[in-house]
Chain A
């Protein structure tokens, strides 16, 4: 740990990595809370994996993979949202298909791209140690977009997450806000891919929020707690991976998963005390 802190003081790439973790945890706490309470982790997983298609195409065309990821994520969110709203009976089949087809498109395009295919692994599992200034700026902008939208439409998003039918009866445009919610989840996925890669995104999106839901009495408090937990997990995972040179993304997920297990099985007495105090 002290070795990590000494390195952090001097190494620019580590400072960038910590900053990336902090920026990612903001999005993961806020949007992860919606994903957990609305139980759309499967939908978010579909978006995350379909993103590889966009990254592959962008890579093939020589464009920025992050731009490709952004376009693919938003397209996948709209497609999956439409499936969720129109063909709910076949939702699981259609989303599984989109999930796999998106990845297949990405793999084909990456294989056709001349050169060394080292980037595939970093798309799949993330490479937080390679995050540069431009990516940090993009992450900050994505965070900003998400926060502004949540502050503006928190009431509608909460109503749609809690009771769609009642929201519709009170004149809320359920279709619009469901799609908005999924698009915001898509932005978060792109944010988190920088840190843990698209395969592990779903864990970082759900685990901090799932732990927070065990203690928080409102969605707002759940978001704050989940963001703090996300920041702690990314920092701890980064620090733990540094000495033994473990993959950072995977270590972060293991820390989050361990914390979730601990909280679920050992946190019960603590929860009771929290719940009693208003």
Chain B
């Protein structure tokens, strides 16, 4: 049982009734990995996450999560959806949103229990957002909102954390903060992070998989220019993200 990888995809194909979004994808994510899933927009990255979450079924092939079909192990998956997936102006506080991660744990009628609230507080401390617990979602910065979403994914103690473009709409400083947080979480969790930003995530992840309908590469090494070309179909200039902001905010 312990031999089963965290996530296994066997010859997975998927389409939404039109042209294939994913074709013959084979991928093993071993336990304890920090996988960066990169690729162009529309390359099937978010679809692959939804397959792993069991929100959609593969057209061909099969998906196995922790040795079982995806729907069976949802409690073991923490999911951070893409930015602007919901309304920012929704009247809800950070702690109330984080508590929603406990819904699978405490079902039925009535209110959240004391242990739910304690778990929420722990998750908010872990994601460094506890000081904003009472604030309304709409008042948060992009980075703070992302931390709140990570806390919501952490609150039910998952084994695997799946993040869809966690740094798409936040500035460089906040982006580093998020990835430093993920690096800490990686000590106890398997992490899969979807990103379009190859250069940046290669500094943090243990492994990169490039997806453009097919799995173009799944290497542990840093993604070179040749692979970027296969992936995006044209030569691209790579920008290294090793530049850091100086105290005045200029690169």
Contact = CB atoms under 8 A, between A and B. Distances in A.
Interface of A: 37, 39, 152-156, 158-159, 161-163, 165-172, 213, 216-219, 221-222, 275, 278
Contact of A155 (B77, B86, B103, B156): B103
Nearest to B106: A155
**Cβ-closest 6 pairs across A and B:** A152-B109, A170-B103, A171-B104, A170-B104, A163-B86, A217-B136
B200 interface: no
18 contacts: A153-B109, A154-B111, A155-B100, A158-B92, A158-B100, A159-B103, A162-B90, A162-B97, A166-B79, A167-B103, A169-B74, A171-B103, A172-B104, A213-B89, A217-B93, A217-B136, A218-B96, A275-B136
A111 B103 CA distance: 51
Contact of B100 (A162, A217, A221, A222): A162
A222 to B, nearest CB: 5
Contacts of B75: 171
Given A161-B90, A170-B100, 17 more contacts: A39-B87, A152-B110, A155-B110, A162-B90, A163-B86, A163-B100, A166-B79, A166-B152, A167-B103, A169-B55, A170-B156, A172-B103, A218-B92, A218-B96, A275-B136, A278-B134, A278-B135
A278 B87 CA distance: 20
Contacts of A37: 87, 90-91
B64 interface: no
A89 B113 CA distance: 39
Given A169-B53, A169-B77, A216 B100 contact: no
Interface of B: 53, 55, 74-75, 77, 79, 81, 85-87, 89-93, 96-97, 99-104, 107, 109-112, 134-136, 139, 152, 156
A219 B100 CA distance: 14
A77 to B, nearest CB: 21
Nearest to B86: A163
A170 B152 CA distance: 11
A86 B55 CA distance: 15
B91 A170 contact: no
Contacts of B110: 152, 155
Nearest to B155: A170
Nearest to A154: B111
A222 B93 CA distance: 13
Given A169-B55, A171-B103, A163 B91 contact: no
A237 to B, nearest CB: 26
Contacts of A162: 86, 90, 92, 97, 100
A175 to B, nearest CB: 14
Contact of B85 (A159, A163, A172, A218): A163
Contact of A169 (B79, B89, B99, B107): B79
Contacts of B89: 213
Contacts of B152: 166
Contact of A171 (B74, B87, B136, B139): B74
